[in-house]
Amino acid sequence: MQSEFDEKLHLTPAMTLMRTIEQIKAEIKDIFGFMPPFFALAQTPQVLESLWQQTPSAYLNNPLSALP
């Protein structure tokens, strides 16, 4: 069963090469509806892309329940 995040995310290494910060931020805003402060410190597209690629597996699609 896919989550709403799975349906919107289609990240592959080939697709993410050479994207601008603006393009990555637009994708993040599309998923969350806003730009989370966690991503605001990224100064280069490579850093922002790396943070963004880690987010779905580490946070959004994590099978562990949230802490109370």
52 belongs to a structural domain: yes
21 belongs to a structural domain: yes
65 belongs to a structural domain: no
**DSSP line for 23-60:** HHHHHHHHHHSS--GGGTT--SHHHHHHHHHHHIIIII
Question: What's the total number of domains in the chain?
Answer: 1
Supply the range of the domain harboring residue 13. 4-59
31 belongs to a structural domain: yes
Among residues of the chain, what percentage have pLDDT more than 70? Answer: 71
Residue 26 has pLDDT above 70, yes or no: yes
Residue 52 has pLDDT above 70, yes or no: yes
